[in-house]
Amino acid sequence: MTAKEKTELRKTHILQAAAKVFAEKGFQDGTIPDVAKESGVSEASIYEYFTNKENLLFSVPLEAIQRLSEQIDFHLKLIRGSADKLRAILYLQLLFYIENRDFAAVIMLILKQNRRFIDTEAHHAIREHLKTVDRVIQEGMETGEFRDDMDPYLLRSTCLGSMEHVVTNWLMLGHPTDEELLGWVDPMIKTLVQGIRTENALHQCPFQHIAKPEDLDAL
Amino acid sequence: MTAKEKTELRKTHILQAAAKVFAEKGFQDGTIPDVAKESGVSEASIYEYFTNKENLLFSVPLEAIQRLSEQIDFHLKLIRGSADKLRAILYLQLLFYIENRDFAAVIMLILKQNRRFIDTEAHHAIREHLKTVDRVIQEGMETGEFRDDMDPYLLRSTCLGSMEHVVTNWLMLGHPTDEELLGWVDPMIKTLVQGIRTENALHQCPFQHIAKPEDLDAL
Amino acid sequence: MTAKEKTELRKTHILQAAAKVFAEKGFQDGTIPDVAKESGVSEASIYEYFTNKENLLFSVPLEAIQRLSEQIDFHLKLIRGSADKLRAILYLQLLFYIENRDFAAVIMLILKQNRRFIDTEAHHAIREHLKTVDRVIQEGMETGEFRDDMDPYLLRSTCLGSMEHVVTNWLMLGHPTDEELLGWVDPMIKTLVQGIRTENALHQCPFQHIAKPEDLDAL
Amino acid sequence: MTAKEKTELRKTHILQAAAKVFAEKGFQDGTIPDVAKESGVSEASIYEYFTNKENLLFSVPLEAIQRLSEQIDFHLKLIRGSADKLRAILYLQLLFYIENRDFAAVIMLILKQNRRFIDTEAHHAIREHLKTVDRVIQEGMETGEFRDDMDPYLLRSTCLGSMEHVVTNWLMLGHPTDEELLGWVDPMIKTLVQGIRTENALHQCPFQHIAKPEDLDAL
DNA sequence: AATGAATGAGGCTTCATTCAT
DNA sequence: TATGAATGAAGCCTCATTCAT
């Protein structure tokens, strides 16, 4: 028992080191020797826990994503209103990124780009999480809180894309600060929910002349 | 004259090959030998045109971004209405990505992640482009077409983030098809402009109880 | 214990191979692959022991010089008379060169020419050795065995320069044979100590008219 | 005629550039591109004048050595006394090195180490120069100005070795200054001619017990 | 279980050299 | 004659990975 726990601890330890190294240097520039140094574990030992360098990379977000997912699922049960649920998702996700910056960098900057990541258990967990978001959106449409004349996938993309864009800039440029970042959740949600246009502009949506006729009905 | 043109042609040729290689394999897994093979030029010759592997990478988007930027600037002059202008920007950008898939992949997947890219001429061109977007948003706020109670940076992030998210998925997952992708411009704009909520929900924005008091006025 | 010894042995082994390769081909023409082949060790392994090709080069003479230095210091304690001490120094040094031809070539032909070698631990050891020579000369002047109207640095240069010239030719031209070389120690010392001129010529040193007045007293 | 002169000028120009480059960086680290840049001539053009990089190197000292040799030969005719002649040789050689530092570095530091240099026309010129030195020494022995119980080769080695040692240090360490260096000719000659020992020590040459019996007679 | 030691594989890069103009 | 352009060849070095202890 203690032996197994010890092993598990060591593994976590290596994963944290890997997250830091990969976050700082990227996957290819971050080396196994780097991870060994950072974790204080020998190179050979890393291969006792992970079959591969890539396997190590893919293992970095696994546990974290699951934890985040569970957390979100739990909170969603306590919230009524689709917009509020959306808000909670973004909030918790941002909070998680802030508290686990290295993981965030690995997920947002490195894994996003790796085609093989898609076949991974971690990516499966991400897709599960996406389903949750989809469910919230679906629910919002069904209850009439959200428009139902929009592509749900686009809606999701808009929500997540906004956040990811902001997070990526935060990771790459160090802007804004952690606190400011969290403070942006509400404005972000507000923008998404209310839309850009003013009330006056409500009935003269200027691009509609390009849209297909059936879109007009949707207004 | 012809000699210089030939040289320029060769350079462009190498850049296209590099774009393809890096788009397919990533920066580190794509090798100079790969680019040499793809372009039919010797490895050594590549170094006649580019000082570095990284310099080669950074040169890939340079000309393309400038071309796109000029194109966008030109079209914007012909369009009235901020929303329509936003739409044109997204449309042209998507069109460009579709027509230059490799460049798109290099910009969206590879360079996004490279910290040194920020100090690059190409990145400068990108920042210039961002300024154009900002100007459109600013203009929309000033003319009253857009709400002016929102952070312009967030607005921009929402627009671009949505598109980038979609493009990234298109690049990584091959979904949707090229035609579908272009067809999403209008729905995307619509989502952004109109917001998510229904008319009924207009006056009961559910998350406002968290927002600061002055936000209420803004409604 | 045995493990450490084995490591040390391997290192020495590589150093000997390196000495041979560099002695035969020079530093630049002698390659790491050459050293690998000569030592029967893989290229990569060489980098386990030495950070650099240059570091490998600089490590070649390190241990040898220290050993020689200690040997000389030990013998000097047993000898009276500055000329005899000088003789011992030259003798031991020549003997060492003969017995370690590759090291000799590396020191005399290759390192002599490398400006960065000066900042090296090995070069420090050489400077220590030079101090020993200086001390002998100083002592000879103080005891009255040597003239004290000469620049000690020049005296040292004459002694070492003579030897180095002979050794360099021996290394480059293979002339004279090893035995002959050792046999030259006494004539060399004799030449240095007695000077070139005959007794008759003692008082008509022809170039003195250029020398400073006080030099005349010294005669 | 003018065409030929122009060609000759260009060649000299390249040689000077090569001397500078090789003197500063060594033969291998100094590249043809370096020489091209330094001389303002294209790389390809260098190959119009020299078959090889090594041929370029070997051509660097050729003309200079011949010029120096002729100069020395000329001056020697004007001087009586072997010691004075020796002095003139050292003086002119040092002067030449000082005035042609790059050539000096190439000869002393680079070519000394190159085995193929021996088969070169320039090396032939050097050997001719050595014969001149030998002739002076021989003459000194025959006229009774120099001892004739010494190996002439050793005598020459002592003279040249002393000088080379000093010059090498001057080149590598920048010590002494150019003026000081020339001022050392007389002390150097004095040391060589008079020997190290004092008059008192004349009849108790301490190492003689090792020397062969016939050496005793020489005293 | 943990690791020191060893290496195959391969990438980036540089240059001497050639050739067509 | 002069050179811009092109490249084959090769070296240094790094690292993921294995294996004996």
Please check whether residue B14 is in contact with residue B53, taking contact to mean a CB–CB distance below 8 angstroms.
Answer: no
- Residue partners of C190: CB distance under 8 A and separation at least 6: D150, D205, D207, D211, D215
- Residue partners of B68: CB distance under 8 A and separation at least 6: B92, B93, B96, B129
Of the pLDDT bands very low, low, confident and very high (cuts 50, 70, 90), residue B1 is: low
C162 part of contact set with chain D, CB < 8 Å = yes
β-partners of residue B197 are A146
In whole angstroms, give the CA distance from residue B142 to residue B151: 13
Helix ranges (DSSP H) in chain D: 2-25, 32-39, 43-49, 53-59, 62-76, 82-99, 101-105, 121-142, 152-173, 178-183, 185-194, 213-218
One-letter amino acid of C66:
Q
Please check whether residue B50 is in contact with residue B37, taking contact to mean a CB–CB distance below 8 angstroms.
Answer: no
- Residue partners of C123: CB distance under 8 A and separation at least 6: C111, C117
Q: Say which nucleotide is closest to residue A42, CA to C1' distance.
A: E3
Task: State which nucleotides on strand E lie below 7 Å from a protein beta carbon.
Answer: 1-20
CA A6, C1' E6: Å apart?
30
Phi, then psi, of B197 in degrees rounded to 5: -70, 160
In whole angstroms, give the CA distance from residue A151 to residue B184: 9
Phi, then psi, of C110 in degrees rounded to 5: -100, -55
Judge if the beta carbon of C6 is closer than 7 A to nucleic acid strand E: yes
- Find how far residue B217's CA is from the centre of its chain: 35
- Summarised one tens digit per residue, pLDDT across range C52-79 is 999 999 999 999 999 999 999 999 999 9
Helix axes C185-194, D152-173, angle to 10 degrees: 80
- At residue D209, does pLDDT exceed 50? no
Owner of token pair 């025959």: D142
B146 contacts A198? CB cut-off 8 A: yes
* Domain spans, chain C: 2-57, 62-218
Please check whether residue C187 is in contact with residue D151, taking contact to mean a CB–CB distance below 8 angstroms.
Answer: yes
Judge if the beta carbon of D47 is closer than 7 A to nucleic acid strand E: yes
Helix ranges (DSSP H) in chain B: 2-25, 32-39, 43-49, 53-59, 62-77, 82-99, 101-105, 121-142, 152-173, 178-183, 185-194, 213-218
A87 contacts B207? CB cut-off 8 A: yes
Lowest mean pLDDT among B133-137, B147-151, C79-83, D37-41: B147-151
Residues lining strand F, beta carbon within 7 angstroms: A 31-33, 43-44, 47, 52-54; B 3-4, 6-7, 10, 41-45, 47-48; C 31-33, 43-44, 47, 52-54; D 3, 6-7, 10, 41-45, 47-48
Question: For the domain with range B62-218, which CATH number is right: 3.90.1150.10, 1.10.10.10, 1.10.357.10, 1.10.1500.10?
Answer: 1.10.357.10
Supply the pLDDT for residue D174: 87
Write out residues 77-96 of B within 8 Å (CB-CB) of A. 81, 83-84, 87
Supply the pLDDT for residue A201: 52
Lowest mean pLDDT among A160-164, B47-51, C19-23, D176-180: D176-180
- At residue B156, does pLDDT exceed 60? yes
Long-range contacts of the stretch A1-10 (C-beta < 8 A, 24+): A7/A49, A10/A41, A10/A49
Write out residues 104-143 of C within 8 Å (CB-CB) of D. 109-110, 112-113, 115, 118, 140
In whole angstroms, give the CA distance from residue D131 to residue B149: 97
- At residue B217, does pLDDT exceed 50? no
Supply the pLDDT for residue A56: 97
Distance from CA of D45 to the nearest CA of C (A): 25
Owner of token pair 């959200």: A146
- Find how far residue B121's CA is from the centre of its chain: 16
- Summarised one tens digit per residue, pLDDT across range D93-120 is 999 999 999 999 999 999 988 989 999 9
- Residue partners of D192: CB distance under 8 A and separation at least 6: C158, C195, C196, D86, D158, D159, D162
Structure tokens at C192: 């240095």
SS3 letters for chain C? Answer: CHHHHHHHHHHHHHHHHHHHHHHHHCCCCCCHHHHHHHHCCCHHHHHHHCCCHHHHHHHCCHHHHHHHHHHHHHHHCCCCCHHHHHHHHHHHHHHHHHHCHHHHHHHHHHHHHCHHHHHCHHHHHHHHHHHHHHHHHHHHHHCCCECCCCCHHHHHHHHHHHHHHHHHHHHHHCCCCHHHHHHCHHHHHHHHHHCCECCHHHHCCCCHHHCCHHHHHHC
Owner of token pair 């000299």: D12
Cis peptide before D152 (omega within 30 of 0): no
Residue nearest to nucleotide F11 (CA to C1'): C31
Neighbours of chain B (3+ CB pairs under 8 A): A
Instruction: Mention the CATH class of domain B2-56.
Output: mainly alpha
Count of C-beta atoms within a 10 Å radius of residue D136: 25
C206 contacts D154? CB cut-off 8 A: no
- At residue B206, does pLDDT exceed 60? no
Long-range contacts of the stretch D116-121 (C-beta < 8 A, 24+): D116/D54, D116/D58, D117/D58, D118/C172, D118/C173, D120/D58, D121/D58, D121/D62
In whole angstroms, give the CA distance from residue B167 to residue B90: 11
In whole angstroms, give the CA distance from residue D156 to residue D137: 8
> What is C2-57's CATH number?
1.10.10.60
The half-sphere exposure of A172 on its side-chain side, counting CA atoms within 13 A, is 20
Of the pLDDT bands very low, low, confident and very high (cuts 50, 70, 90), residue D199 is: low
Residue B33, exposed/middle/buried by CB under 10 A (0-12, 13-18, 19+)? Answer: exposed
CB contacts < 8 A, C to D, total 196
- Find how far residue C170's CA is from the centre of its chain: 14
List the single residue in D109, D169, D198 with the smallest CB-CB distance to C113: D109
Lowest mean pLDDT among A132-141, B196-205, D77-86: B196-205
Distance from CA of D161 to the nearest CA of C (A): 4
C168 contacts D190? CB cut-off 8 A: no
Containing A74, the helix (H) or strand (E) segment is helix A62-77
Residues of D in contact with C118 (CB under 8 A): 172-173
By C-alpha distance, which of A117, A103, A101 is closest to A19?
A103
Q: pLDDT in tens for each of the 219 residues of chain C?
A: 577 788 999 999 999 999 999 999 999 999 999 999 999 999 999 999 999 999 999 999 999 999 999 999 999 999 999 999 999 999 999 999 999 999 999 999 999 889 899 999 999 999 999 999 999 999 999 999 998 888 899 999 999 999 999 999 999 998 889 999 999 999 999 889 888 777 555 444 444 333 333 333 333
Long-range contacts of the stretch C165-169 (C-beta < 8 A, 24+): C165/D157, C165/D158, C165/D160, C165/D161, C165/D164, C165/D165, C166/D154, C166/D157, C166/D161, C167/C94, C167/C97, C167/C104, C167/C108, C168/C108, C168/C109, C168/D112, C169/D157
The half-sphere exposure of C112 on its side-chain side, counting CA atoms within 13 A, is 29
Supply the pLDDT for residue A200: 56
CA B102, C1' F18: Å apart?
38
By C-alpha distance, which of A214, A207, A26 is closest to A114?
A26
D183 part of contact set with chain C, CB < 8 Å = no
Q: pLDDT in tens for each of the 219 residues of chain A?
A: 677 888 999 999 999 999 999 999 999 999 999 999 999 999 999 999 999 999 999 999 999 999 999 999 999 999 999 999 999 999 999 999 999 999 999 999 999 889 999 999 999 999 999 999 999 999 999 999 998 888 899 999 999 999 999 999 999 998 889 999 999 999 999 888 887 776 655 444 444 333 333 333 333
- The mean predicted confidence, pLDDT, of chain B is 88
Distance from CA of D8 to the nearest CA of C (A): 31
Q: In chain D, which residue's Cα lies nearest the Cα of C106?
A: D113
Say yes or no: do domains C2-57 and C62-218 share a fold: no
- Residue partners of C102: CB distance under 8 A and separation at least 6: C16, C19, C20, C22, C23
- Summarised one tens digit per residue, pLDDT across range C131-141 is 999 999 999 99
